[in-house]
Structure 1
Amino acid sequence: MKTFGIVAHVDAGKTTLSEALLYQSGQLRTLGRVDNQDTFLDPDALEQARGITIFSHAAQFNLGDTPATLLDTPGHLDFAAQVEQVLDVLDYAILVVAGNAPLSGHTRTLWQLLKKYQVPTFIFVNKMDAIGADAEQTLASLQTDLDAGCLPLRNLDDDTKEAIAVLDDDILQDYLESGELSTETIQNLIAHRQLFPVYFGAALKLDGVSDLLEGLSTYTIETPALPDFSARVFKITDDQGVRLTWLRILGGQLVPKQMLGDEQINQLRVYNGTKFTIANQVAPGEVCAIPNLQNTHAGMGLGSLPDAPSPILQPVLSYALDPLEEDLHACLQAMEELGDEDPQLHVTWSKTLQEIRLQVMGPIQIEILTALLHDRFNLTVKFVAGGVLYRETVDQVVEGVGHFEPLRHYSEVHLRIAPGKLGSGLVFDSACSPDVLTQNFQHQILTALQAKTQLGVLIGAPLTDVHVTLISGRASVKHSVGGDFRQAAWRALRQGLMMLRDSGDVLLEPWYRFELVVPTESIGRAMTDIQRMQGEFGQPEQNGELTRLTGTAPVSEMQDYATELRSYAHGLGQLSLVPDGYRPAHDMDSVVATRGYDPKADLDNTPDSVFCAHGAGYPVAWDDVPAMAHVPYLSTEALQQPGLFTSVFGT
């Protein structure tokens, strides 16, 4: 069993190609069309109404005598997190690009994701029947912008064989000596992402589809099964009130009544579009859906497989739900259900503000959520934009101390807080001797630090890219319990951040990588706008009456630029925005002043400590804690050099 996924930028013709592949392989008797709202893999009413894929769907088909699963994925950037979840269960991907347009920024992002997940990839250049389609120009762009291994395989003539052999020195030597290039060699080059076969055609007219199917049949191999039971959950969906856990088996098998953790499998469903059959077992390589499991989540590893790392593509915008006349509790239940299906929504409830908050990629996702709440839950609500999602980090090393000693309790924790690698998130470890704190207490401290979202002290945004090391502490044989160290650890982290608040804490903001196409006479205006938005761009590329500009800019400045573009470009401009990570905020002082966050008033994340005297506990402000700590601070030299911890603490 092989599993293929189709990925593409919106409007490249991905769903049309999916339909054509299923039709040409004999799976469908009639060929549906997106504009007729009758395609096999866009069955949802929301998808049909908007003419875009919103949810990933599965279909079964055959490649010759080999059964295969096809996973269609959303094309719009706002739903890219769903695409990333699917990539981890694919044997091969089919990347669809339009032959009548330049490669989009989203296509480049998809390519980077395919590279991260090491997915062997076939490329189908679609819309070759459209005005402006140019095979040579598109191929050159693929080889320049994506990989030199993007080569057409429709005709395996001598020139093509030589171009393939050049991709590997050993293969080239063998080819020059024998003049032969075996199918197995080509299969291996594809499987190891050295060769990316390119096919040209027009899916709507079924042109080139048979060639692609033949290539998929000839040049793909089945992934060997893992020795022990292993499976990856790649999405959670709802089917008429039934919670479905979708997964792919990578080793072993599943059968009804089998236990997954502490839950029993009551049914195994194999879906083909909206219909499913009930399976007696699911073998390696197969995709299935299990109803009514409650303790699963997208990215979860089952059996011997660990959980997948956090997705690269993260939301950059925050919104709050306005319930209008609806019951707020009913809205929260509905949003939590949607958040279960899409963890990247990060649905939270603010008890203080009595407010439901969520995170999204863009406005199209908000439109879909509004429609889902109405159609599925009979709730009429609206969403209020809450701005961009900032994060906080540090650019200096500091020691943070937390002391928690109310009557009959005792704990003190010392942490080394240092800048982490870009994109590393929060890393917690210990360099503390068990002679200073037992392994049990150390484990409780590290567990506590990971137990909740740690916030910065500038605006209360989530902390990221920080390396936190437990370096010392103190316990009482008589009075210390685990909950004490949770309190001391949280306070130590916040106290250290407060030490850096005026000099070493950094506010991070999300940036977009943009691709802007405007009428050539408007390029001066566009470049001026990007500079005004604190953005960066490369050399403009003119193509006839249009000019293309690519670069990066802060999300806070560019998120509403599409409206401005429509005004001055008179509908001829195009803007593509892709999240491009976090950088120090260009207007940090202004944002901090506007937010007005008071870290000392955030009682759930206090930087202050509690000491005890005369039989009673009393609070001590964060800046007075160092002088009162029971364990001495490290020297500046030792703090800057983690390797010295060994000599200091004997670890």
Structure 2
Amino acid sequence: MHPLTTLDLGILAHVDAGKTSLTERLLYAAGVLDEIGSVDDGSTRTDSLALERQRGITIKAAVVSFAVAGATVNLIDTPGHPDFIAEVERVLGVLDGAVLVVSAVEGVQPQTRVLMRTLRRLRIPTLIFVNKIDRRGADPARTLRDIEQRLARDVVPMTATLRPGTRAADAVPYTAADPDFRARLAEVLAEHDDDLLAAYVTDESALPYSTLRAHLAAQTRQALAHPVFTGSAVTGAGVDTLLAGVRELLPATARPAGEPLSATVFKIERGPAGEKIAYARIAAGTVRVRDRLPVHRDGEPAGEGRVTAIGVFEDGTDVRREEAGAGRIARLWGLTGVRIGDVLGQAPDKPAAGQHFAPPTLETVVTAADPTRRGALHAALTQLAEQDPLIGLRRDELRQEIAVSLYGEVQKEVIQATLAADFGVAADFRKTTTLHIERPLGTGAALEIKEKAPNPFLATVGLRVEPAPVGSGVEFRRAVELGAMPYAFFAAVEETVRQALGQGLHGWQVTDCTVTMTHSGYNPRQSHAHAVFDKSMSSTAGDFRGLTPLVLMAALRRAGTAVYEPMHRFRLDLPADAVSAVLPALAGLRAVPRTQRALVSTYVVEGDVPAARVHDLELRLPTLTRGEGVLESAFDHYERVTGPVPERPRTDHNPLDRKEYLLRVQRLRN
């Protein structure tokens, strides 16, 4: 099998910037489509869900493939609405490059900044496409200044826009004959290349244009420079130039098929019969029907699965094949236990990078409108969480309720509609609440020894809890020899520690801490004369699972915890005469302005606001600013709660109440 040259290209944007329309136009320009679909009509190739067509927004990432100049481009259309950022999250790990779409009318928007920051941090080569130059109010020059000020300084305008704001708007590529373009190109590139800088300072005109283009391609592929194209996805203006830029400037790679298989699962969906379908990007090797594939999760073995069918993306469609080689994005059937983020085939040298975007900061309780459908509701939500791991489910057995983590109200509406349409379950959603976290204040330790009161379990567990750096999550360590007892018992302790930290002293998830196992002990397997296993004399993994939450919560109590609330960084653009009305309103919402400055025609206020009050600010802003205020906000950090500490009802057996906990656990064990 010959090596396949591929480019995995993501199309990203703030909602309504024209991302899906651009995808349609690129497919048309590449000869894949004979007719361009419309987002408004619900006829686009990549928005295939009924909900996407009804709402006119992308909810799920979609893949389509086409050939350009001998290379196969796997184009991935991603959601633009911030409520569906989890879909973008999963795609980033498989991208070779990206096109970030910005509207020439609205300019840089909140989600645009979040996406660009992430693309730059991950060093994903990115082209910027200024769309909608044909729309009334389009101002490409203002948008370019906005991009330079708020997205990246190292941008290179690649096209001149003619007649912006009219249906006759067009984008014309700059050429070597344009001295201003050459100067801008040399200036940006010299920032990252000392030799080029020396040549530029000595004699700018002596730099050959071919050298500048070669350096532009090299720096774009290193995510050091960001070429900016203009055009219109609706009329097609500038799209051929963008496509030429994709060919020239982004890194298509020849991927050999003879290597061991390595593929990453980045999306999971269910087929018409409920069967699981895994989307995998094949980085190396080949996968074939009937192959039995090892599965690795977080760098560790996680079983295996047998491939029963394969679909690959070719020329704008999904076709069945007996095999899929390196460079393909394949749909795989039969891998029933696989999850998003799993690596198929050869074990990775190191685990994949962690989460790129902020976690959900909202939560809502979901109940079945018909109480007899509780089981069906739980099964449906479990499937949805499988497709979107950031939908964290918390099941409260006592109250027979399920809580779901969310990014926003639109996501809640989509989940409700999906439950009704796809699973036939009518669900009620309570008012959305804010998700807080807990962090340890100090160090605390606890120890319970087997066969010593008041420990009823045949297990010895000692744990120490310590604060860890902000953002580090939870780290589990062992200060005892691994051979001191069976590995299954250590695994049971670690698994239970991570599960129990989902609810701290105040009911919130505990994070940014290190938990060290300081003591261990067990009773070896013992039998009676006829070799019948005696559970009453021998330690089991259940003993360690039962004891660990008691020890952990005792250690956590001694360490103490503080509760933190999610904070958004906000930017307000408003008329100068509205400042006197807006500032008191911000104070009433516990927002803290950090900077204030006057621009040419507006006044800008930036600062922090509790995530719980962002929606209130959005509702009040039109009245306070006569409809002229523009708010953008995004999660920034967690801040310690002052005043009364919010409590969340527990959904576990409550190891903070020893008597109640032991009664419940004993009932389960019997």
User: What is the TM-score normalised by the length of structure 1?
Assistant: 0.84
Cα contact 2:71–2:252 (8 A) shared by 1: no
> Equivalent of 1:523, from 579, 582, 588?
579
Match runs of 1:303-342 below 5 Å: 303=345, 304-305=347-348, 306-307=351-352, 309-325=354-370, 327-342=373-388
Aligned-pair CA distance for 1:316: 0.9
Q: Does 2:318 align with 1:276?
A: yes
Cα contact 2:571–2:633 (8 A) shared by 1: yes
Task: Between 406-415 and 93-102, report the one with greater CA deviation.
Answer: 406-415
Structure 2 counterpart of 1:168, one-letter code: H
> Equivalent of 2:174, from 133, 136, 155?
155
CA distance in 1, matches of 2:502, 2:24: 47
Unpaired runs of 5+ residues, structure 1, are 611-616, 620-651
Q: Which residue in 2 is equivalent to 1:88?
A: 93
Structure 2 counterpart of 1:89, one-letter code: V
CA distance in 1, matches of 2:440, 2:89: 29
CA distance in 2, matches of 1:300, 1:115: 25
Q: Which residue in 1 is equivalent to 2:162?
A: none
Aligned-pair CA distance for 1:200: 1.4
Aligned-pair CA distance for 1:495: 0.5
Q: Which residue in 1 is equivalent to 2:224?
A: 194
Structure 1 residues 607 and 481: CA distance shift in structure 2, 3 A: farther
Q: Does 2:165 align with 1:165?
A: no
CA distance in 2, matches of 1:200, 1:15: 16
Task: Between 483-492 and 285-294, report the one with greater CA deviation.
Answer: 483-492
User: What is the TM-score normalised by the length of structure 2?
Assistant: 0.82
Q: Does 2:389 align with 1:357?
A: no
Task: Between 187-196 and 31-40, report the one with greater CA deviation.
Answer: 31-40
Structure 2 counterpart of 1:13, one-letter code: G
Structure 1 residues 540 and 221: CA distance shift in structure 2, 3 A: same
Aligned-pair CA distance for 1:454: 1.3
Cα contact 2:450–2:522 (8 A) shared by 1: no
Cα contact 2:85–2:357 (8 A) shared by 1: no
CA distance in 1, matches of 2:239, 2:467: 51
Structure 1 residues 344 and 408: CA distance shift in structure 2, 3 A: closer
Q: Which residue in 2 is equivalent to 1:232?
A: 264
Q: Which residue in 1 is equivalent to 2:462?
A: 414
Q: Does 2:611 align with 1:560?
A: no
CA distance in 2, matches of 1:235, 1:185: 35
Task: Between 480-489 and 123-132, report the one with greater CA deviation.
Answer: 480-489
Structure 2 counterpart of 1:281, one-letter code: E
Aligned-pair CA distance for 1:257: 1.3
Structure 1 counterpart of 2:239, one-letter code: V
Q: Which residue in 1 is equivalent to 2:510?
A: 463
> Equivalent of 1:208, from 224, 238, 242?
238
Q: Which residue in 2 is equivalent to 1:496?
A: 555
Cα contact 2:595–2:607 (8 A) shared by 1: no
Task: Between 563-572 and 156-165, report the one with greater CA deviation.
Answer: 563-572
Q: Which residue in 2 is equivalent to 1:72?
A: 77
Aligned-pair CA distance for 1:378: 2.3
Structure 1 residues 199 and 552: CA distance shift in structure 2, 3 A: same
> Equivalent of 1:56, from 53, 61, 70?
61
Q: Which residue in 2 is equivalent to 1:299?
A: 341
Structure 1 residues 168 and 618: CA distance shift in structure 2, 3 A: closer
Aligned-pair CA distance for 1:204: 1.7
Q: Which residue in 2 is equivalent to 1:47?
A: 52
Cα contact 1:164–1:195 (8 A) shared by 2: yes
CA distance in 2, matches of 1:545, 1:148: 22
Task: Between 416-425 and 401-410, report the one with greater CA deviation.
Answer: 401-410
Cα contact 2:155–2:228 (8 A) shared by 1: yes
CA distance in 1, matches of 2:604, 2:33: 40
Q: Which residue in 2 is equivalent to 1:481?
A: 539
Structure 1 residues 127 and 586: CA distance shift in structure 2, 3 A: farther
Cα contact 1:409–1:480 (8 A) shared by 2: no
The SS at the match of 2:120 is helix
Aligned-pair CA distance for 1:215: 0.5
Cα contact 1:21–1:213 (8 A) shared by 2: yes
Q: Does 2:489 align with 1:431?
A: no
Q: Which residue in 1 is equivalent to 2:420?
A: 374
Q: Which residue in 2 is equivalent to 1:454?
A: 501
CA distance in 1, matches of 2:488, 2:35: 66
CA distance in 1, matches of 2:601, 2:270: 47
Cα contact 2:500–2:549 (8 A) shared by 1: no
CA distance in 2, matches of 1:533, 1:267: 54
Cα contact 1:402–1:608 (8 A) shared by 2: no
CA distance in 1, matches of 2:377, 2:270: 17
The SS at the match of 2:369 is coil
In the alignment of these two chains, the number of paired residues is 603
Cα contact 1:253–1:283 (8 A) shared by 2: yes
Structure 1 residues 603 and 30: CA distance shift in structure 2, 3 A: closer
CA distance in 1, matches of 2:174, 2:457: 77
Deviations 1:27-83 (A, max 9, x none): 111122222332222232211221111111111222222221111000000000101
Cα contact 2:288–2:322 (8 A) shared by 1: yes
Aligned-pair CA distance for 1:230: 1.0
CA distance in 1, matches of 2:456, 2:43: 70
The SS at the match of 2:147 is helix
Aligned-pair CA distance for 1:344: 1.1
Aligned-pair CA distance for 1:524: 2.7
The SS at the match of 1:452 is helix
Aligned-pair CA distance for 1:453: 4.1
Q: Which residue in 1 is equivalent to 2:639?
A: 583
Aligned-pair CA distance for 1:573: 4.2
CA distance in 2, matches of 1:376, 1:87: 27
CA distance in 1, matches of 2:638, 2:397: 29
Q: Does 2:106 align with 1:101?
A: yes
Unpaired runs of 5+ residues, structure 2, are 1-5, 159-172, 177-181, 295-303, 527-536, 665-670
The SS at the match of 1:560 is helix
CA distance in 2, matches of 1:441, 1:232: 28
Aligned-pair CA distance for 1:173: 5.2
Q: Which residue in 2 is equivalent to 1:249?
A: 282
Structure 1 residues 160 and 569: CA distance shift in structure 2, 3 A: closer
CA distance in 2, matches of 1:367, 1:339: 16
Q: Which residue in 2 is equivalent to 1:642?
A: none
Structure 1 counterpart of 2:446, one-letter code: G
Structure 1 residues 451 and 390: CA distance shift in structure 2, 3 A: closer
CA distance in 2, matches of 1:352, 1:194: 54
CA distance in 2, matches of 1:331, 1:457: 27
Structure 1 residues 543 and 59: CA distance shift in structure 2, 3 A: farther
Task: Between 357-366 and 410-419, report the one with greater CA deviation.
Answer: 410-419
CA-atom RMSD in angstroms = 3.1
Match runs of 1:601-620 below 5 Å: 603-606=653-656, 608=658
> Equivalent of 1:535, from 575, 581, 591?
591
User: How many percent of aligned residue pairs carry the same amino acid?
Assistant: 27
Deviations 1:5-33 (A, max 9, x none): 10001121111211111112211111222
The SS at the match of 2:227 is strand
The SS at the match of 1:335 is helix
Cα contact 1:534–1:586 (8 A) shared by 2: no
CA distance in 1, matches of 2:288, 2:199: 47
